[in-house]
Structure 1
């Protein structure tokens, strides 16, 4: 069946006018081709759409059933150019974004708020995941974007693009009842000597892990690893429980947890970077609209 929108327009005109002559005038055509088009439509559908009597025509049961659907199809067809335009500009569609837990305290909320306000018709799927899990999901094409802590492994360097968004220093998170904790706004890592360290496993975020241990090594301390956890909320929860201390990105201080205090460090710490990674072969307009927004907000 090769049903054409033109045939539906003809049918709607006749159905609304209930007069082939008036419908022909409305359509700026002569009556014979309009009658032929209606008869062709009925033959195609296998049912009479009109009851033809000497005193005029009325809609048949089949015609009554077709009329609202024909109007809907015509209305939808008129919306197609705008739909296509919006899709080409990334204003409609879907995007899947994975993010590390640290991004929940700095980048993610304002990014999502800004993107939703600019592109309200785009559906966003969110997934919290560590950087290593995100990299594998990107490799497999399971997500569009990863908000992660670099680096990008060499084996994926030709597959992925990466854009840095935020760099921030490390600060100390410690139990608030620590007797050794200074009341100063800044403390030295030397004051932390002997305190168990709570940290991410190295396999999950090697650069992050090495940066933290490097801070201690720079002052001649080899910390005792007390606990490992993959979620920032868990790390801060363990600090709150008095299980040890942690070095965390500065924005994590936005996570207010009873029993935890945050202090700046006297030592200069390496900056922890967070950025976006995506596949080079992903040409989704929605994806590039999101990336462009992050560039404007930097």
Structure 2
């Protein structure tokens, strides 16, 4: 006995007609009749009696129907769940350095809202259909989909300033800078560093490493606010000027061949 025989039995029982049951299952009448015959042989009993118009069900068929109907329904439901999983939209996104966890969470929530049932795959750095990064890291051949904007702040070690210290500009402070000369933002920040940029307290490869140095009391740094908020031992102060960066998805036009990315882009732009 197998699933095909059970489906054939349920269809004939419910339709009371071989022709109608065969059409329902998209089978030929001989194939359907053969499945019923094999099931009857396996059970050792007749299940249907052919009449001029349709069939009549036997008492054994009436007893068998509830159990086989449940088994067929469970098998159909299981197959449907696996088919739906196989058909789920997939999107792979690389997460560049210096993107805060809160920003990654914002991306994930946005993607799920724009693409129901999405299977999101996050990887480190330059991987996948798109990259979650600051606009400064966009390559020349890439498009950019902005997701959020955040300001730069002055990051200081805890207790570096008294609680009642008034906010001012970085130039108002006796600042031992921690700089990131290899970072794409460095040129934008140079006017703020001033003459002290030539003699920094320390150098770091990215903002996250700079914040580790700040927390250790080495000096002060200008960093995106979301990154600084996540580091224990660091406090922030406004810069006294509007300096921001945009975070979003960098991707090639060809990547829009992935329907999930195209759907995410359309959802963000239409919001």
> Once the two structures are superposed, what CA deviation does each residue of 1:125-184 show, in whole Å capped at 9, x if it has no partner?
22343xxxx2xx3xxxxx122111224334xx1xx3223344443211112333799811
Deviation at 1:253, TM superposition (A): 4.3
User: Which of these residues, 132, 155, 178, is aligned with residue 198 of structure 1?
Assistant: 178
Contact 2:145 2:249 in 1 (8 A): yes
Contact 2:100 2:226 in 1 (8 A): no
User: Which of these residues, 227, 249, 265, is aligned with residue 224 of structure 2?
Assistant: 249
So what's the TM-score if we normalise by structure 1?
0.62
Q: Where does residue 46 of structure 2 map in the other structure?
A: 56
User: Which of these residues, 131, 137, 156, is aligned with residue 174 of structure 1?
Assistant: 156
Secondary structure at the aligned position of 2:218 is classed as: coil
Secondary structure at the aligned position of 1:16 is classed as: helix
Contact 1:111 1:294 in 2 (8 A): no
Q: Tell me, yes or no, if structure 1 residue 227 matches structure 2 residue 203.
A: yes
Deviation at 1:215, TM superposition (A): 2.4
- When residues 269 and 52 of structure 1 are mapped into structure 2, their CA distance, relative to the original with a 3 A threshold, is closer
Question: Mapping of 1:152-191 within 5 angstroms?
Answer: 152-154=138-140, 157=141, 160-178=142-160, 183-191=165-173
Question: Structure 1 CA distance, aligned partners of 2:242 and 2:170?
Answer: 11
Question: Structure 1 CA distance, aligned partners of 2:28 and 2:144?
Answer: 60
Q: Where does residue 10 of structure 2 map in the other structure?
A: 16
Q: Which runs of 5+ in 2 are unaligned?
A: 48-59, 62-66
User: Which of these residues, 86, 107, 110, is aligned with residue 111 of structure 1?
Assistant: 107
Q: Tell me, yes or no, if structure 1 residue 264 matches structure 2 residue 238.
A: yes
User: Which of these residues, 111, 119, 122, is aligned with residue 123 of structure 1?
Assistant: 119
Tell me how many residue pairs correspond in the alignment. Answer: 245
Contact 1:187 1:263 in 2 (8 A): no
So what's the TM-score if we normalise by structure 2?
0.67
Pairwise CA RMSD of aligned residues? 4.4
Contact 1:172 1:262 in 2 (8 A): yes
- When residues 17 and 54 of structure 1 are mapped into structure 2, their CA distance, relative to the original with a 3 A threshold, is farther
